[in-house]
Structure 1
Amino acid sequence: MSSLKVEFFHDVVCGWCFVLAPQLKLLQRELDLDIQHRSFILQSSRDEMIERFGSMVQAKQTILGHWQSCAEAEDVKRINIEGMRQQRFEYPNGLLAARACQAAHALGGNSAHGLLFDRLQAAHLVHSRNIGDPDTVVAIAAEAGFAPQAFHHSLQYQAPALLDRDLQLGRGLNIRSVPSLVVAERYVIAGAVGVEQLRQALTQIRSHLDQPAGHTTDAGSAPSPAPRGCA
Structure 2
Amino acid sequence: MAAMRIEIWADVVCAWAYIGKRRLEKALAGWDGPPVEVAWRPFRIDPTAPPRATPLEELYRDPMVDDALRACAPHLTPAQNRVRVSAVAAAEGLGPRWGAAWRADSGDAHRLIALAGETGGAPLQDAVAERVLKAHWIDAADIGDPAVLAAVARDAGFAEGPALLATGAGRALVAERLLTGKARGVRTSPTLVAHGRALAGAQAPEAVRGFLADAAAHPPRPVPAEVERLRLAESLLTARDPLGALTLLRPLLDEHGGDRGVRLLAARAYYASAQLNRARATLERLVADHPDDSYARHLLGRTLHRQNDAGAARHLTLAAAMTPALG
- Under a length normalisation based on structure 2, what TM-score does the superposition of the two structures give? 0.53
2:215 matched residue in structure 1? 205
Following superposition of structure 1 onto structure 2, how do residues 22-61 of structure 1 map, counting pairs within 5 Å?
A: 22-28=22-28, 30=31, 31=33, 32-46=35-49, 56-57=59-60, 58=62
Taking the aligned partners of 1:64 and 1:131, their CA distance within structure 2 comes to 23
Contact 1:27/1:199, CA 8 A, preserved across alignment: yes
Picking from 64, 83, 88, the partner of 1:68 is: 83
2:206 matched residue in structure 1? 196
Contact 1:28/1:35, CA 8 A, preserved across alignment: no
Contact 2:6/2:36, CA 8 A, preserved across alignment: yes
Taking the aligned partners of 2:130 and 2:79, their CA distance within structure 1 comes to 19
Taking the aligned partners of 1:26 and 1:98, their CA distance within structure 2 comes to 24
Counterpart AA for 1:16: W
Per-residue deviation, 1:102: 2.0
2:4 matched residue in structure 1? 4
Query: Whose radius of gyration is greater, 1 or 2?
Result: 2
Taking the aligned partners of 1:64 and 1:112, their CA distance within structure 2 comes to 35
2:190 matched residue in structure 1? 179
Moved over 6 A (4+): none
SS in 2 for 1:175: coil
Following superposition of structure 1 onto structure 2, how do residues 1-231 of structure 1 map, counting pairs within 5 Å?
A: 2-28=2-28, 30=31, 31=33, 32-46=35-49, 56-57=59-60, 58=62, 62=69, 66-74=81-89, 75-79=91-95, 80-81=97-98, 84=100, 87=101, 90-147=102-159, 150-155=160-165, 156-184=167-195, 186-209=196-219
Taking the aligned partners of 1:91 and 1:157, their CA distance within structure 2 comes to 22
Unaligned runs of 5+ in 2: 70-77, 221-327
- Residues 70 and 207 from structure 1, CA distance in 2 versus in 1: closer, same or farther, beyond 3 angstroms? same
Taking the aligned partners of 2:81 and 2:161, their CA distance within structure 1 comes to 32
Taking the aligned partners of 1:128 and 1:119, their CA distance within structure 2 comes to 12
Contact 1:6/1:183, CA 8 A, preserved across alignment: yes
Taking the aligned partners of 2:161 and 2:2, their CA distance within structure 1 comes to 33
SS in 2 for 1:171: helix
- Under a length normalisation based on structure 1, what TM-score does the superposition of the two structures give? 0.73
% same residue: 23
SS in 2 for 1:46: coil
- Residues 34 and 146 from structure 1, CA distance in 2 versus in 1: closer, same or farther, beyond 3 angstroms? closer
| Aligned residues: CA RMSD | 2.9
For residues 162-200 of structure 1, the C-alpha deviation after alignment (integer angstroms, 9 at most, x for no partner) is 21121121011011111001110x211000011111112
Counterpart AA for 1:24: L
SS in 2 for 1:182: strand
Counterpart AA for 1:167: L
Per-residue deviation, 1:125: 0.9
Contact 2:150/2:161, CA 8 A, preserved across alignment: yes
Larger relative contact order, structure 1 or 2 (CA cutoff 8 Å, min sep 6): 1
- Residues 60 and 116 from structure 1, CA distance in 2 versus in 1: closer, same or farther, beyond 3 angstroms? farther
Per-residue deviation, 1:47: 5.2
Taking the aligned partners of 1:60 and 1:92, their CA distance within structure 2 comes to 18
Unaligned runs of 5+ in 1: 211-231
SS in 2 for 1:174: coil
Taking the aligned partners of 1:60 and 1:146, their CA distance within structure 2 comes to 38
Equivalences, count: 197
Q: Counting helix residues as a fraction of each chain, which structure ranks higher?
A: 2
- Residues 44 and 34 from structure 1, CA distance in 2 versus in 1: closer, same or farther, beyond 3 angstroms? same
- Residues 157 and 60 from structure 1, CA distance in 2 versus in 1: closer, same or farther, beyond 3 angstroms? farther
